[in-house]
Chain A
Amino acid sequence: MCPTIRALERTDDMKIDELIKSIQDKFGSKVLKVYKHNDKRAYVDIYPKDIVEFTKYIFKDMGLRFNIASAVDDFDGLEILYHFADDLTGYVISVRTILKDKFDPHIDTITSVTRSAWWIEREIRELFGIEFDGNSDLRGLLLPDDWPKGVYPLRKNFVVPKRDSRKA
């Protein structure tokens, strides 16, 4: 494994705005929107196609830790949030990307940058039906082997079957 290269020297008295600015300076118009929730949390909106580039910069160059990714089934499409924690300053930067096509959602894998995303990509594919292009191991992780294909339990259109106590 190659050693981590730090392009941006972070210090513990750095403000979250400086981190955001460094991302904006690097990517310019590829950053669609920045939303600062409070002094510790910020959300950065990007296009799905840029995710690997952003991850490479935030994880490898800035040296933030990959917390986890979380998908959300929203009205606009399927959202994926990649959360990165800065353990030096206590900030969490969440990179948000929206996949408009709910029928055939695709995004590039970030496992080429960090192996820590291996399991969560398997999980999101299984529970939300999002394909991660380039991830060679996308076997099921949580659901039983006989789970019906094309049924994604964390999508909003999945209704948990009601158990009828009289039939039990």
Chain B
Amino acid sequence: MSHNAHIPIGPYHPLQEEPEFYKLVVEGENVVDVDVRIGYNHRGIEKISESKSFDQSIFIVERICGICSSSHPIACVQALEDLAGLEVPERALYIRTITQELERLHSHMLWLGLAGHFIGYNTVFMWGWKYREPICDIMETVTGNRQNYAMMKTGGVRRDIEKEHIPYILTRLDEFSRQLDMLKGAILDDPVLHARLKGVGVLTKDAAIDYSALGPTARASGVDIDVRRDHPYAAYDRVKWNVITQSTGDVFAKTVVRILEMEESAGIIRQCLDEMPNGPIDSNPKDIPPGEGIGQVEAPRGECFHYIRSDGTNSPLRHKIRAPTYMNFPTFRETVIGETVSDATIILAAIDPCYCCTERMLIVDSKDKELMGVQELIRLSQEKTAKLKAKMGIK
């Protein structure tokens, strides 16, 4: 006879910025239901923004996420530029594109490392985080900071890229590309990973459209959307690059999308550095008139959406912020039901939420009072890979 066990996951992890709580209901090995609860670290940034000046809001939204600290400020300044009808100097648009793509590179690399860890590929974890370093170094050269770049301002950017820094940036980028090539081969040609990740946590195209899924989560399911191409901003319509899509919608497809996107990002940065025109980086706007504006940015996880209403004063009347994970999370319910507990970790990781959630998994069996922590769940996931390897005769 089977009985249901409840697996609460979450909510806190002090290292990450988005604690969530999941309750998985399992029957034997299979997940039959899931409930998600967020808000444990709700800082009321929308409310805070209403009490700050427009210039301060940009720095407040930068604190929303440590990874997307370029996407939120760009979305915010674009909303203000849309509201006021401001022009942005060409050079500033290129610099925005460069910071955006650097952010995508380091975010995807971070994801790759963690995803590797969850399925027992700790070498991928070590590689991924090591190879992310050149990107953080470039970010420091371009913006002055490894994280929280403080680069954006309404009508332009705050810091120019110096000519003498470009050779260094290109050298480090080449170093990254070589390592990415190696990593790409190692991951995409690995028969165990094919066996382990294909067909796991499938999000169908129809479901992706219905949930309005975004970014790599949608693109892996064959939904061909990318804000950078569809709602062009910064300098994305001035450089050549491709939108990566896959059709299967499983964890493997999401991995492929992210790895191939990194190659595109590196290409975009090279083109921008090459083609960037000289000139001012800021149009120095004075006032924000009454009105409303929308800013959209393709963050590493998908579209980041800001809506700002101004009543003519110095601070927003309303500042709505929608991060991509907000739309991608509900798809977890669609993808995890019917799968086994050992796959729950990697399916959740595949939508690339902020990781706190997966770090704090806890199993409580209602009958036996048995407790199982996150380490146990990751161990289950790693064991499944090991079994698969043994079955395939790979050491």
Residues on A with beta carbons closer than 8 Å to the beta carbon of B322: 67-68, 70, 120
Residues on B with beta carbons closer than 8 Å to the beta carbon of A116: 210-212, 327, 330
Q: How far is the CA of A118 from the CA of B225 in the complex (A)?
A: 22
Residues on A with beta carbons closer than 8 Å to the beta carbon of B195: none
Q: How far is the CA of A162 from the CA of B322 in the complex (A)?
A: 27
Establish whether residues B39 and A143, one from each chain, have CB atoms under 8 Å apart when the complex forms: yes
Establish whether residues A41 and B294, one from each chain, have CB atoms under 8 Å apart when the complex forms: yes
Residue from A66, A68, A83, A141 within 8 A of B38 (CB atoms): A141
Residues on B with beta carbons closer than 8 Å to the beta carbon of A88: 230
Residue from A68, A72, A74, A153 within 8 A of B44 (CB atoms): A153
Chain B's closest residue to A92 (CB) is B294
With contacts A41-B294, A142-B42 taken as known, whether A83 is within 8 angstroms of B305 at the C-beta atoms is yes
Chain B's closest residue to A114 (CB) is B210
Residues on B with beta carbons closer than 8 Å to the beta carbon of A83: 294, 305, 307
Residue from A1, A41, A140 within 8 A of B206 (CB atoms): A1
A15 shortest CB reach to chain B, Å: 16
Establish whether residues A70 and B320, one from each chain, have CB atoms under 8 Å apart when the complex forms: yes
Residue from B51, B211, B318, B329 within 8 A of A70 (CB atoms): B318
Establish whether residues A72 and B317, one from each chain, have CB atoms under 8 Å apart when the complex forms: yes
A166 sits at the interface (CB 8 A): no
Establish whether residues B82 and A90, one from each chain, have CB atoms under 8 Å apart when the complex forms: no
Q: How far is the CA of A158 from the CA of B44 in the complex (A)?
A: 12
Q: How far is the CA of A33 from the CA of B330 in the complex (A)?
A: 33
Establish whether residues B326 and A119, one from each chain, have CB atoms under 8 Å apart when the complex forms: yes
Chain B's closest residue to A63 (CB) is B209
Establish whether residues B39 and A141, one from each chain, have CB atoms under 8 Å apart when the complex forms: yes
For residues 181 through 213 of chain B, which have their beta carbon under 8 Å from a beta carbon of chain A? Answer: 206-207, 209-212
Residues on A with beta carbons closer than 8 Å to the beta carbon of B39: 140-144
Establish whether residues A85 and B307, one from each chain, have CB atoms under 8 Å apart when the complex forms: no
Q: How many residues of B contact A (CB 8 A)?
A: 37
B231 sits at the interface (CB 8 A): yes
Q: How far is the CA of A165 from the CA of B333 in the complex (A)?
A: 44
Residues on A with beta carbons closer than 8 Å to the beta carbon of B309: 72
Establish whether residues A72 and B210, one from each chain, have CB atoms under 8 Å apart when the complex forms: no
B280 sits at the interface (CB 8 A): no
B66 sits at the interface (CB 8 A): no
With contacts A74-B317, A88-B230, A114-B212 taken as known, whether A41 is within 8 angstroms of B82 at the C-beta atoms is yes
Residues on A with beta carbons closer than 8 Å to the beta carbon of B296: 67, 85, 92
Establish whether residues A67 and B82, one from each chain, have CB atoms under 8 Å apart when the complex forms: no
B93 shortest CB reach to chain A, Å: 16
Establish whether residues A119 and B330, one from each chain, have CB atoms under 8 Å apart when the complex forms: yes
27 sampled A-B residue pairs with Cβ under 8 A: A37-B82, A37-B291, A37-B292, A37-B293, A38-B85, A40-B231, A41-B82, A65-B225, A66-B212, A67-B296, A68-B327, A70-B322, A72-B318, A73-B318, A85-B230, A87-B225, A90-B231, A90-B232, A114-B210, A114-B212, A115-B211, A116-B212, A116-B327, A140-B39, A141-B39, A153-B47, A158-B47
A residues with CB within 8 A of B: 1, 3-4, 37-38, 40-41, 43, 65-68, 70, 72-74, 81, 83, 85, 87-88, 90, 92, 94, 114-116, 118-120, 140-144, 153-154, 158, 160
The 10 closest A-B pairs by CB, nearest first: A142-B39, A70-B320, A116-B212, A87-B230, A68-B322, A90-B231, A72-B318, A142-B42, A66-B212, A87-B225
